[in-house]
Amino acid sequence: MTRYVIGRLAGVVVILFLVCLFTFVLFFTLQPDPAVMICGKTCTPERIDQIRDVLGLNQPFLTQFFGFLGGIFAGRDYGEGANLVHCAAPCLGYSFQTNQSVMDMVVERLPVSATVAIGAAVLWLIVGIAAGLLSAVKEGTWWDRTAMGLALGGSSIPNYVLALALQYVLVVQLQVLPFPQAVAFSDDPVVWFQSYLMPWIVLATGYACLYARLTRANVIDTLAENFMRTARSKGLSPALTMRRHALRPALTPIATIFGMDFAALLGGALITETVFGLNGVGKMAADSIAKNDQPVIMAVTLLAAFFVVVGNLVVDLVYTRLDPRVRITTP
């Protein structure tokens, strides 16, 4: 087991390194000169040279790449002498646009993305699994057909269309919700809740529909298993067989999918955050891409990859706990 975990951790490091390298190569070869962009309109050749010098942009590719990597683990210095700026580890550099530390930007915005992801996850797990279970138990009834029809429809609505439709109906027409605002929970819990409600619903809809269909399919498959027939023939009530015997094997695959979906969301819900103007990591990604802010793009890509890879690892480790039939065998 320990060997397995160590091996997987090494894999995580390798993949993150490759993501880093790949992104770096991409921007190194394709992007216009960042120094010119930072310098802006009132620019002199001397100023450009100075910027290049401070940021190390005139260094060879490998020096720049390892400078970036070193910054993450040990911190790094920009410039020299009186202009020296020290960026403490973990250092992701400074935004070309705002000169803010990228690490600070991430730390500032991560809670927003986490709030969006957690709220949505709670919503879609409750709704999706409940609807799926009911459908499986009442297989073939009108409830089942309606719920599954809705689930198929709900998973076909693009996020941003749903977001616009909800805003139009709830905010403009019915005026039951205010326009989403950036308010901290401690300042005004009611407005905070109202502001996050629409992003949660928008994000949760697609997942809830998917999870309802998955839950239904898994439960129906499990109910047809031999051990379920045994349980029923022992005389257990349907409710008890469901609770004691069916739920665990039916929901275990959902748990793994949930782990990966949730991890991906922590890296930022680009479209939802952009549409609702939430200042999370996703919006930061969209903004930085629009403005060609290379250090920020590097950071959000790495962060998202980190969540996905670590999420995968956690899912695989937890799976053996949830499903004792699966055991990790070290080769």
Partner 1 sequence: MTVAAHPEQVAGPAPATSGRRVIRVLLRDRGAVLSGAYLALIVLMAIGAPLISAITGHGPNDFDTAAVNTDLGGVPYGSLGGISSEHLLGVEPQNGRDILARIAYGARVSLIIAVSATALTTLLGVVLGMLAGFYQGWADQVICRVMDFLMAFPALIFMIAILSALPQGNRPVLLVVVISVFGWPYLARVVRGQTMTLVNREFVEAARASGASTGQLVFKEILPNLRSSLIVMTTLAVPGYVGTEAGLSFLGVGVTPPTPSWGQMIASSVGWYAVDPMYFVIPGAFLFLTVLSLTVLGDRIRAAFDAGEAS
User: Which burial class, exposed, middle or buried, applies to 95 when counting CB atoms under 10 A from its CB (0-12, 13-18, 19+)?
Assistant: buried
Regarding 315 and contact with partner 1 (CB under 8 A), the answer is no
Amino acid (1-letter code) at residue 317: L
| Region binding partner 1 by CB under 8 A among candidate stretches 62-70, 148-156, 222-230, 231-239 | 148-156
CA neighbours closer than 13 Å in the CB half-sphere of residue 200? 20
CA distance 203 to 146: 22
Q: Evaluate the CA torsion angle 127, 133, 134, 135 in order and state its sign.
A: positive
Cα dist from 300 to 6, 123, 297, whole Å: 26, 26, 5
3-state secondary structure of 78: strand
Q: Evaluate the CA torsion angle 231, 234, 239, 244 in order and state its sign.
A: negative
| Region binding partner 1 by CB under 8 A among candidate stretches 45-53, 66-74, 106-114, 307-315 | 307-315
Binding to partner 1 (CB under 8 A) within 165-184 occurs at: 165, 167-168, 172
Regarding 285 and contact with partner 1 (CB under 8 A), the answer is yes
| Region binding partner 1 by CB under 8 A among candidate stretches 41-49, 83-91, 194-202, 308-316 | 308-316
User: What is the DSSP track for 5-74?
Assistant: HHHHHHHHHHHHHHHHHHHHHHHHHHS--HHHHHH-SS--HHHHHHHHHHHTTTS-HHHHHHHHHHHHHH
- Residues 54, 170, 217, 264: which binds partner 1 (CB under 8 A)? 264
Regarding 300 and contact with partner 1 (CB under 8 A), the answer is yes
- Residues 157, 170, 183, 322: which binds partner 1 (CB under 8 A)? 157
Smallest separation, CB 81 to partner 1 (Å): 34
Regarding 153 and contact with partner 1 (CB under 8 A), the answer is yes
- Residues 4, 5, 8, 15: which binds partner 1 (CB under 8 A)? 15
Tokens matching residue 18:
């490759």
**What is the CB neighbour count within 10 angstroms for residue 14?**
11
Smallest separation, CB 28 to partner 1 (Å): 10
Regarding 251 and contact with partner 1 (CB under 8 A), the answer is no
Q: Which is nearer to partner 1, 126 or 161 (CB)?
A: 161
> Look-up: residue for tokens 């499903």?
323
Q: Which is nearer to partner 1, 201 or 275 (CB)?
A: 275
Smallest separation, CB 156 to partner 1 (Å): 4
Map residues 31-70 to x or -, x wherever contact with partner 1 holds by CB under 8 A.
x---------------------------------------
Regarding 152 and contact with partner 1 (CB under 8 A), the answer is yes
Residue 62 CA to chain centroid, in angstroms? 30
Chain residues in the site for partner 1 (CB under 8 A): 11, 15, 18-19, 23, 26-27, 30-31, 152-153, 155-161, 164-165, 167-168, 172, 264, 267-268, 270-271, 274-275, 285-286, 289-290, 292, 297, 300-301, 304-305, 308-309, 312
